[in-house]
Chains A and B, each alone.
Chain A
Amino acid sequence: MTELQTAPTATDTPGAMIELHGVGKIYPGSSVPAVADLDLAIPEGEILVLVGPSGCGKSTTLRLINRMIEPTSGRIVFDGEDVTAVNPDHLRRRIGYVIQQIGLFPHQTIAENIGTVPRLVGWDKARIAARVDELLDLTGLDPVQFRDRYPKELSGGQAQRVGVARALAADPPVLLMDEPFGAIDPITRDRLQNEFLRLQGDLKKTIVFVTHDIDEAIKMGDRIAILGEQSVIRQYDTPERILAYPVDEFVSDFIGAGSTLKGLNFERVRDLELISDFPVVDVDTARDEAQRRFDASPEKWMLVLDSVGRPHRWVNAGHLADASHPLAEVGAAVNSTVMPNATLHDALEEMLLSNAGCAVVVDERNRYQGVLDIEVLADVLKQLRQQAKKHYDDLAQLDAVDQEAQLQDAEPQ
């Protein structure tokens, strides 16, 4: 079996930076493996999130990669090189490592902490100092203010920024992160996650990220591996597809309720076909013409646009019947709209808030583009599910063909 079983998306996966081949860990005195026979390819330049219930061995798996825990079986390939037996200390200098408790050295300044690995690999002082300032800047800390501080003078969020900066110090191609934002309050965590994603957009590191929080996994991951007991991979895919199509009950239980809603975060309004035949009138349209158009449409509401084509009022049959006011003043104001780059999650929110049950889509200058309603969303979700299912069906078929081919190969001539 040459094909990595656990990477069904192999076709659209970039080259693997790290490959685990049948890696396992059995602690001495235990007959049950903590990690059993794990095959995993970690794509270059992406964030792979290992997520699973507590005690499933995800942290152990992470620590097997930099050999903080020595595997008892299998091979680890790092950037094409088998590192199963190289000096682990040297290996680790090429892999950034961030842990939940951060573990800053309390007796060293922030600058000394960040400069740890560069010092180990023999950079000169000037280069280290420049790198420290660069990293502090990058992680949103003012170098002048922070470089000479000690860790106890930092808040939790600041300390974790320094932890990330320290891991990035010698510019390692790979970063291992073990619940890095787990001990930080939700608001700061959200900010750190966003900043980290922005940073990763520039750095394009290969990152393995461990968390037990499926929401964090969905947010951070380019790909997610959902792990069960003994680090067995239950599903490995993009967040979109996992949300659209959990392969089994374990995965859907773990994702929990609301996975459909979460999936809406990955689709954007601009990719959808808007409802084009929604009744719309200009604000200076004659009343009888407006009434005619409204009657011609099955919708219960009609949108009135202002003179430059911006959504202005929602009107219904009752409003239209009220002839005492001009069209510009009847009905309800259009308070909220969505832009094409909004997610479907945002669009859904607008739908729920709007009188008409529709989200009005506008361009950057607030001009009317079209309307989305709940049926459009339902269709999209159905399509996503079907696509994901088809993807897995195709894979199963490919597998079957593969196996057949192998069987034929194996037959004696």
Chain B
Amino acid sequence: MTSLHDVPSEVVELDAVHSAPPPGARDEQVSDDADGYRLPPGVRLIRSNLGLFVTPLIVIAGIIALRVYYNSADKIFQDERALDWERNLRPQLEEHLGITLWATVFTIVIAVPLGILLTRPRYRRFGSPVLAVATSGQAIPAFGLLVLAFAWLGRGPWTTIWALALFTMLPVLRNTMVGLEQVDRNVIEAGRGMGLTKRQVLRRIELPLAIPVILAGVRTALVITVGMAALAFLIGGGGLGETISAGLKLSRDLVLITGAVMTALVALSVDWIAALAEKTLRPKGL
């Protein structure tokens, strides 16, 4: 299945993630700093998870900056109305997160089992064609896909959710397949040789060992989804795109910038949560 590995992008950076020293204070082997002296555990924890500590700070700083900017800006009636928390911003934020969440859930529910199926001996030969279709599907512009979905399913958030789920299927599917294929054959051989059934090997060995790669795919999907959910307003799906659009229509920088910054902060937060999940769900010992 060389074609699996021909597919570039996420998978390449995944390897970098893998070879990075494992996180956590559990592992004594990484405890020594490059200079050779031992660091206190707290410092080690922060150092090895530096990225995880930076994002919340940026998000908090962003929220504060946005508030300061909002409070200090000259506001007209339309601004107040468009940026009303209860009437607009909160429902839009909820829609945005809802779209992201559901689209990702559907993607996982469909792509992970499909990826498992396409790596089983019986269906392996379909793996390459399916990936090829998914890859070329990825080339369709997101906007085009939204419009097609609109034409087919009509207005509303669920149309957006299905369209985005379809659009982000590829990274999850591909990473599921690659994640399962890269499991050391000898480990599977040893498991089968000890009398584990094929199903037990899948559940107890292959899936846990593929989890980091699958999660990386899910994280990619999440990030794509949260960004594209900003386009949901185009087909009546709501989301923070409404505020951006309002800002454009009204030619009001305050509204435009508030919408854009909020979208960015949501995306950052979602990515952070995904990174956290990646860290905690990664099996120990890898």
Contact = CB atoms under 8 A, between A and B. Distances in A.
B77 to A, nearest CB: 59
Contact of A105 (B191, B193, B197): B191
A99 B195 contact: no
Interface string A75-107: 000000000000001111110010101111111
B283 A107 contact: yes
Interface stretch (A9-17, A50-58, A148-156): A148-156
Nearest to A152: B285
B139 interface: no
- Which residue among B188, B193, B205, B283 has the maximum number of chain A CB atoms within 10 Å of its CB? B193
A192 to B, nearest CB: 18
Contacts of B200: 120
A26 B197 CA distance: 24
Interface string B176-218: 0000000010111111111111001000110011000000000
B251 interface: no
A259 interface: no
A168 to B, nearest CB: 11
Given A104-B187, A107-B286, A108-B285, A99 B193 contact: yes
Contacts of A94: 195
A94 B195 CA distance: 8
A103 B184 contact: yes
Contacts of A176: 193
Given A68-B189, A101-B186, A106 B285 contact: yes
B190 A104 contact: yes
Interface string A105-129: 1111100000011001000000000
A106 B206 CA distance: 11
Contacts of A92: 192-195
Interface in A167-195: 167, 176
A231 interface: no
Contacts of B190: 97, 99, 101-105, 163
Contact of B186 (A103, A120, A153): A103
Contacts, number: 77
Nearest to B197: A89
Contact of B196 (A91, A108, A120): A120
Contact of B195 (A90, A103, A163): A90
- Which residue among B27, B196, B205, B285 has the maximum number of chain A CB atoms within 10 Å of its CB? B285
Classify chain A's interface size. 20 to 34
B284 A150 contact: yes
Given A107-B208, A152-B285, A153-B29, A102 B186 contact: yes
Contacts of A153: 27, 29
Nearest to A97: B193
Contacts of B29: 153
- Which residue among A94, A104, A106, A163 has the maximum number of chain B CB atoms within 10 Å of its CB? A106
Interface in B143-196: 184, 186-196
Contacts of B283: 107
Contacts of A103: 184, 186-191, 193
Given A106-B187, A106-B286, A97 B194 contact: yes
B194 A99 contact: no
B194 A117 contact: yes
A404 to B, nearest CB: 45
Given A107-B208, A120-B195, A99 B285 contact: no
B196 A106 contact: no
A147 interface: no
A102 B189 CA distance: 9
A166 interface: yes
Nearest to A101: B186
A123 to B, nearest CB: 14
B25 to A, nearest CB: 15
Given A89-B197, A116-B196, 11 more contacts: A90-B195, A93-B194, A102-B186, A106-B184, A106-B286, A107-B208, A109-B285, A120-B200, A150-B284, A153-B27, A176-B193
Nearest first, the 8 A-B pairs at minimum CB distance are: A103-B190, A150-B285, A93-B195, A97-B193, A107-B283, A92-B195, A101-B186, A103-B186
12 contacts: A68-B189, A89-B195, A91-B195, A92-B192, A92-B195, A101-B186, A101-B190, A103-B193, A104-B190, A116-B194, A117-B195, A152-B285
Interface of B: 27, 29, 184, 186-197, 200, 204-205, 208-209, 283-286
